[in-house]
């Protein structure tokens, strides 16, 4: 069942109580010319019920990024004749799932068959056309302005949005930056942890400088000033790094394979309870989560990757980590 929670007089957070992890919250914005939707990825029946309840035209549907929990029912949006908008750097993915599977690292890991099975299980279908936006692009719908905020790292074109309307508080939609209790995710080959951390800092800075109502694709509505939410995201990334460093310090050297089967990110006990298809996928995501973490550690000169694939410590861990924002 769909729930619409008022954020401001002309914007709502739309959520579903459907018991599946492959969904996300969305924004519904009522402008003078019609409605704009951001990330409202729900079941077919829920999408139809939502769109049928609206007293005006749906002008655009914005996708924050092309991950399956955000796009599994994108074809339903297209079938309603609603223009689908996505960042320029991800425009190939809605038209070709093969391209995403290749860029994600699934082919390299031999899990492309499992990815395709998963995609079919959640009823994803490729769409025929897509419109694009570029980082920082501003869209005006009568007296409402929507700005795309580039937040790469989680995916190449991952974008947040600022929604402004005269006489109302601005809304900062952080998409999948990690504001929810699950936190940050960087489990595809194309994820970039250096860019991800930079995006967290930049979004925190935007938040600090304005008077925003904060929300996201998997998070609640936050009306009070809560800068510690951004600090928590960085802390969660740092805790995975600490777990890796502890293992290297105790053993001298480790391989990525060693780390993957410790379940440092997802937790080995959780993975082992899954069916075979999901187990393969979660180990695939675990692999690239830790690979991206190791790459970021190597860039900073904290660890060294030896020719045989072992990782060793180069210097003592840095206890003075970067600040996210001024509180």
Q: What would the pLDDT profile of 89-122 be if each residue is shown by its tens digit?
A: 999 999 999 999 999 999 999 999 999 999 999 8
Provide the residue count of the chain: 327
Instruction: Give the other-Cβ count within 10 Å of 263's Cβ.
Output: 17
Largest CA distance in the chain: 64
- pLDDT at residue 319, as a whole number: 47
CB atoms within 10 A of CB 322: 11
As a whole number of angstroms, the distance between CA 251 and CA 248 comes to: 5
Confidence of residue 230 (pLDDT cuts 50, 70, 90): very high
Task: Give the angle 151-156-159 at the CA atoms, nearest 5°.
Answer: 35
pLDDT tens digits, residue range 94-103? 999 999 999 9
Number of H helices, E strands in the chain: 11, 15
**pLDDT tens digits, residue range 15-69?**
998 867 777 999 999 999 999 999 999 888 999 999 999 999 999 999 999 999 9
Round to whole Å and give the CA distance between 304 and 301.
Answer: 7
Q: Are 325 and 310 in contact (CB under 8 A)?
A: no
What is each CA distance from 149 to 69, 137, 164, 178, in whole angstroms? 20, 8, 13, 15
pLDDT of res. 327: 40
Q: Which domains does the chain have, with CATH numbers?
A: 2-226 (3.60.15.10), 239-313 (no CATH)
Give the pTM.
Answer: 0.94
Assess whether pLDDT exceeds 60 at residue 325. Answer: no
Q: Check: CB of residue 138 under 8 Å from CB of residue 145.
A: yes
Q: What is the pLDDT of residue 17?
A: 87
Q: What is the pLDDT of residue 308?
A: 81
In percent, the amount of the chain with pLDDT more than 70 equals: 95
> pLDDT (tens digit, 9 = 90+) per residue, 179-193?
999 999 999 999 999
């Amino acid at each position: 069942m769909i729930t619409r929670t008022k954020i401001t007089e002309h914007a709502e957070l739309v959520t579903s109580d459907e018991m599946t992890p492959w969904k996300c919250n969305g924004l519904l914005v009522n402008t003078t010319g019609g409605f704009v939707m951001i990330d409202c990825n729900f079941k077919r029946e829920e999408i139809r019920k939502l769109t049928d309840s609206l007293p005006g035209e749906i002008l655009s549907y914005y996708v924050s990024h092309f991950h399956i929990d955000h796009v599994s029912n994108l074809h339903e949006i297209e079938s309603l004749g609603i223009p689908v908008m996505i960042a320029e750097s991800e425009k190939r993915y809605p038209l070709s799932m093969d391209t995403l599977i290749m860029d994600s690292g699934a082919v390299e890991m031999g899990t492309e068959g499992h990815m395709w099975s998963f995609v079919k299980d959640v009823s994803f279908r490729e769409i025929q056309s897509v419109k694009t936006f570029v980082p920082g692009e501003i869209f005006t719908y009568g007296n409402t302005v929507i700005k795309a905020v580039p937040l790469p790292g989680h995916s190449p074109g991952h974008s947040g949005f600022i929604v402004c309307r005269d006489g109302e508080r601005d809304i900062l939609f952080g998409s999948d930056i990690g504001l929810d209790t699950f936190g940050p995710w960087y489990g595809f080959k194309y994820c970039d942890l250096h860019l991800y951390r930079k995006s967290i800092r930049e979004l925190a800075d935007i938040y600090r400088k304005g008077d925003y109502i904060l929300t996201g694709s998997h998070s609640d509505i936050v009306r009070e000033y809560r800068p510690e939410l951004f600090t928590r995201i960085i802390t969660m990334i740092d805790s995975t790094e600490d777990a890796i460093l502890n293992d290297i310090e105790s053993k001298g050297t480790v391989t990525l394979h060693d780390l993957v089967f410790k379940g440092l990110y997802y937790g080995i006990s959780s993975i082992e309870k899954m069916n075979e298809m999901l187990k393969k996928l979660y180990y695939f995501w675990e692999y690239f989560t830790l690979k991206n973490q190791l790459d970021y550690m190597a860039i900073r000169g904290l660890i060294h990757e030896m020719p045989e694939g072992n990782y060793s410590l180069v210097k003592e861990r840095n206890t003075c980590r970067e600040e996210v924002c001024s509180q």
